Chain A
Amino acid sequence: MEAVTENLDLYWSGFLRSLGICLWAMVGSLVLGALIAAFRVSPVASLRAFGTAWVNVLRNCPLTVVLFFMAFGLPEIGINQSFYFFGVAGLVLYTSAFVCEAIRAGINSVPAGQAEAARAIGLTFTQNLGSVIMPQALRTSVPPVGSVIIAMFKNSAVVGAFGVGRDLYSVGRDLTSAQGYSYIPVLLGVAVGYLIITLSAGALLGVLERKVAIVR
């Protein structure tokens, strides 16, 4: 186990870096996912088509392919950013498709009569969505969106291979490869790092779920 204890500082810096990637990607994918979900249920046909295309393309592409397009495709057409930006943006795009579908499931769970009643009293689509549907839909969406976000935390290990580097998983590879520590203890240390992130996210979700629960 000295592989971990001797390198706690490396693990810590890797943990912080991974945590940073996760938090940025979480904020980005929640906002973007909610927006695309709104597109998918909007009365404007072209927005609906855009939302559907977005989900179908990104949900059906392997994450590595999305990241490849970000890290190596965008520079080809002249968009230059840091690999950190590309990595987080790739995660956001990919995860937004899943977040969108989870939120849309929540929207569909709101009885149609709610939307009809809101329309009947003269609310616009935006008011209807913002004040009537979403508040109910988001409550139902908490568990599935939470699962998607936790899956995304684990996916964040992949961006290390696209120039981001120094994240938790890369630290593990560094220790096993350049410094010759054996695999099992090093990867156990990495796993513990990810568990700290995902388990505390799970706990937070549980609290959130109880807070927003409604009786129907």
Chain B
Amino acid sequence: MRFTRFKAAAAVMALAGSLAACGSDDDGGSDPEVVEDAEFEAGTTMAELSEQGSMTVGTKFDQPGFGLQGLDDAPEGFDVEVAKIIAGAMGISEDNITWEETPSDIREQVIEDGTVDMVVATYTINEERAQRITFAGPYYNAGQMLMVLSDNDAINGPDDLAANPDAKVCSVTGSTPSEQIKEYLASDDQLVLFDVYDKCADALSNGQVDVVTTDNVILAGFVSESDGEFKLVGEQFTEEPYGIGIEKGDVAFCEFINQTLQDNQDAYVEAWESTAGQVEGAETPELPEPAPCS
């Protein structure tokens, strides 16, 4: 009796699972072109992936507008669309991409281990990281900004932070913004660190911190969701070029990615407008000049 009941429950769950899978055909993103007969020089990463017909991409699952996994299986966002453009140029359709969650602190590791073929995850190009992996791109230039409560008039830019030593600034452990904000602070005690930005937004909302700082695009997502509770202040005070992380030294793949982005500027714009571009006040970027591959 118990066994049949267990089987019935399993059957119901399997059915529910398959129903859920039916509902997610249209994910609202763009539909990048998939090249049917992609040909590559033998021995390159592109030839290998194209032959295999599938690839694994690392992205963030918690970044609204860039890589956010909802109730559907696949994440959505600008990073995801950019990855689809590149995969498409190798003849890999989005159904054949496996998405791997890569939070900030494991990105180099998964590339080195070969767990993923590339990482598109709001990945700021910097020298330390470039020692372990190769960056293609940049495909987007973000910049660090400050977000405060709408009724805060005391802080109008990073230079006001040292003058208000009681003001708490929130960011995420191990992020580039958390390092770069330090030179503007009166002391280290001003900096409050969490593991994800959602907590910073909550802390700002209930008055535990006064400022949240990270890349403008991430903050813009919070501002648009906040119903006027938050605002951005000041100018972008850093340059955060987002790159695509691949295995160290794979110059051919890097050049291929750069060329693919150059050749698909329409798809790039469409990718932006269907994702991060939907945030109020977001300007459609121009594809930045690629940096030399090394």
Contact = CB atoms under 8 A, between A and B. Distances in A.
Interface size class of B (residues with CB under 8 A): 20 to 34
Contacts of A161: 173, 194-195
Contacts of A178: 128, 174-176, 178-179
Interface stretch (A55-63, A108-116, A179-187): A179-187
Contacts of A182: 108-109, 112, 132
A106 interface: no
Interface string A153-195: 0000000111111100010011111111011000000000000
Contact of A179 (B112, B128, B208): B128
A183 B109 contact: yes
Contacts of A183: 105-106, 109
A183 B207 CA distance: 35
A177 B193 contact: no
A180 B128 CA distance: 6
A164 B126 CA distance: 27
Contacts of A72: 199, 202-203, 206
B174 to A, nearest CB: 3
Nearest to B200: A163
B266 to A, nearest CB: 34
B105 A176 contact: yes
Contact of B193 (A75, A165, A175): A165
Nearest to A160: B173
B191 interface: yes
A2 interface: no
Contacts of B105: 173, 176-177, 183
B104 interface: yes
B7 interface: no
Interface of A: 71-72, 75-76, 80, 83, 160-166, 170, 173-180, 182-183
A14 to B, nearest CB: 11
B131 interface: yes
B195 to A, nearest CB: 4
A6 B129 CA distance: 17
A212 B115 CA distance: 53
B34 interface: no
A163 B208 contact: yes
Nearest to B178: A178
Nearest to A81: B208
Contacts of A71: 199, 203, 208
Nearest to B127: A180
Given A72-B202, A165-B192, A166-B188, A180 B131 contact: yes
A166 B187 CA distance: 13
A154 to B, nearest CB: 17
Given A75-B206, A76-B206, A160-B173, 7 more contacts: A71-B203, A80-B207, A160-B195, A163-B170, A177-B104, A177-B174, A178-B176
B97 to A, nearest CB: 25
A75 B174 contact: no
A165 B173 contact: yes
B269 to A, nearest CB: 31
